[in-house]
Chain A
């Protein structure tokens, strides 16, 4: 039976193998595939027209707010996992505590909804 760290050693080996697979494939493609760059071939794709402005343009701020909302709930889910494996032994008290925790975060979601953050207009 392998030890705790040895089991993660297999994971490390697999990551190395995965990176190796990609590296070998890229080298193979570099050897096999043709390489004939030309200025028009290297332009940014914009439906065949000459590109207007640059590609790193401004985007909607709402994506940023989604990211905020996500962080709050993702941290919550990290707390949920250890609780989920132990709450049966701890009984109803643990359930009530988690209900309070979830409700507080749910109020946050309700606030975001009332502020119309989740609407697109």
Chain B
């Protein structure tokens, strides 16, 4: 009997299920809520990136669109992308080329279904929660490979292979760091992991795991300093070199959706999701969750403004020689401590 069972029994149901009207009404409501979140949150993070990077470089960033500090810049960008000509080069494998943006984007949409924003504020609470998020998050590598291979372009091919090698190398530390958290909480459910942190956040007991997770998520997102697959000074835009218009926009949307998704997972695993800091319990849970996601996204952007890119061999060695053994040691150390203090 897990010590969490009574806690979970007290909050077994999603707030969305209280709408009433049976399964299909629930389903439609949940899908709509998640889709709206998926379409809005990446735009907010994208705007944040424009602004934060600009101010870190003593610029103002977008100031015109929407009158007030350029808040509508990404909406305007989206409208512009739809109007751009969709060029499919003659050498391209057109069917795979067209399918690739969807294969990159749709898994991220499906990932948001399990993020908890409060004890009862989530769309679904799968019993294999964290396993599901890691599994579906890694589907995007297939989309990137599809994009790079179907482009029939040397830059795209190099970029896609770099991306694939990087994503699989950093998948391991990411998974192993999550395993350490699962061992401490005793459950795979994301709501369960968040509930297990009601006394203290796991960043305090798993600091090494948290750092490994942060580094590995940056690499999974192919964000600086791990942006070798997109290194614009040598391979143009990597796997996305041949893409124009809306298809390119979908890759961008997927990138920002990925930043939100991995910040969200990190917030659940290490920062207690909706759990407040001591003495600040009067602030509602969803605000805590959103604040943590925003703070982690800010760190991701901050890295981009701070660190130069790692070379390809340094990048691979960093994962295989440092992060993977360290994460394995972290898992075993957690196991020994947990059984010893049982």
How many residues of chain B have a CB within 8 Å of chain A?
81
Task: Kindly count the residue-residue contacts between A and B in the assembled complex, taking CB atoms under 8 Å apart.
Answer: 207
- A63-B320 in contact (CB<8A): no
Partner of A18, one of B86, B106, B131: B106
Partner of B316, one of A34, A84, A102, A120: A120
Partner of B324, one of A26, A28, A109: A109
Contacts of A30 in B (CB 8 A): 86
A55 to B125, CA, bound (A): 45
Q: Which of A97-121 contact B (CB under 8 A)?
A: 98-99, 102, 106, 109, 112-113, 118-120
A113 to B155, CA, bound (A): 29
Cβ-closest chain B residue relative to A2: B23
Question: What is the CB-to-nearest-CB distance from B226 to chain A, in angstroms, rounded to a whole number?
Answer: 15
- A102-B110 in contact (CB<8A): no
- B110-A55 in contact (CB<8A): no
Given contacts A55-B151, A88-B342, A98-B332, contact A81 B168 (CB under 8 A): no
Interface residue B255 (Cβ < 8 Å from any Cβ of A): no
A32 to B82, CA, bound (A): 7
- A59-B187 in contact (CB<8A): no
Given contacts A10-B113, A92-B339, contact A113 B321 (CB under 8 A): yes
Q: Which of B91-130 contact A (CB under 8 A)?
A: 91-92, 98, 101-102, 105-106, 109-110, 113, 123-126
- B320-A26 in contact (CB<8A): no
Interface residue B62 (Cβ < 8 Å from any Cβ of A): no
Q: Which of B1-33 contact A (CB under 8 A)?
A: 12-13, 17, 23, 26-28, 30-31
A106 to B341, CA, bound (A): 26
Question: What is the CB-to-nearest-CB distance from A113 to chain B, in angstroms, rounded to a whole number?
Answer: 7
Of the four ranges (under 10, 10 to 19, 20 to 34, 35 or more), the interface on chain A belongs to: 35 or more
Question: What is the CB-to-nearest-CB distance from B96 to chain A, in angstroms, rounded to a whole number?
Answer: 12
Which of B158, B324, B339 has the largest number of chain A CB atoms within 10 A? B339
Interface residue B331 (Cβ < 8 Å from any Cβ of A): yes
Cβ-closest chain B residue relative to A72: B172
Interface residue B242 (Cβ < 8 Å from any Cβ of A): yes
A15 to B106, CA, bound (A): 7
- B31-A13 in contact (CB<8A): yes
Interface residue B49 (Cβ < 8 Å from any Cβ of A): no
Interface residue B171 (Cβ < 8 Å from any Cβ of A): yes
Q: Which of A24-59 contact B (CB under 8 A)?
A: 25-26, 28-30, 32-37, 39, 41-47, 51, 54-57, 59
Q: Which of A63-90 contact B (CB under 8 A)?
A: 63, 66-67, 69-70, 73-74, 77, 80-81, 84-85, 87-88
Cβ-closest chain A residue relative to B181: A84
Cβ contacts A1-29/B at 8 Å (1 or 0 each) = 11000111111011101110110011011
Given contacts A30-B86, A55-B156, contact A18 B109 (CB under 8 A): yes
A63 to B83, CA, bound (A): 38
A22 to B187, CA, bound (A): 34
- A66-B316 in contact (CB<8A): yes
Question: What is the CB-to-nearest-CB distance from B285 to chain A, in angstroms, rounded to a whole number?
Answer: 21
Partner of B82, one of A18, A33, A113: A33
Cβ-closest chain B residue relative to A16: B31
Partner of B339, one of A18, A29, A67, A95: A95
Partner of A17, one of B35, B89, B151, B168: B35
Given contacts A10-B124, A43-B90, A95-B335, contact A33 B183 (CB under 8 A): no
- B169-A66 in contact (CB<8A): yes
- B91-A14 in contact (CB<8A): no
A21 to B101, CA, bound (A): 12
A26 to B241, CA, bound (A): 19
A109 to B172, CA, bound (A): 13
Selected A-B contacts with CB under 8 Å, 20 pairs: A15-B109, A17-B35, A18-B106, A21-B35, A29-B245, A32-B82, A33-B86, A33-B246, A42-B88, A46-B153, A55-B151, A70-B168, A70-B171, A74-B168, A77-B176, A84-B182, A85-B186, A87-B339, A106-B325, A120-B312
Query: Which residues of chain A have a CB within 8 Å of any CB of chain B?
Result: 1-2, 6-11, 13-15, 17-19, 21-22, 25-26, 28-30, 32-37, 39, 41-47, 51, 54-57, 59-60, 63, 66-67, 69-70, 73-74, 77, 80-81, 84-85, 87-88, 91-92, 95, 98-99, 102, 106, 109, 112-113, 118-120
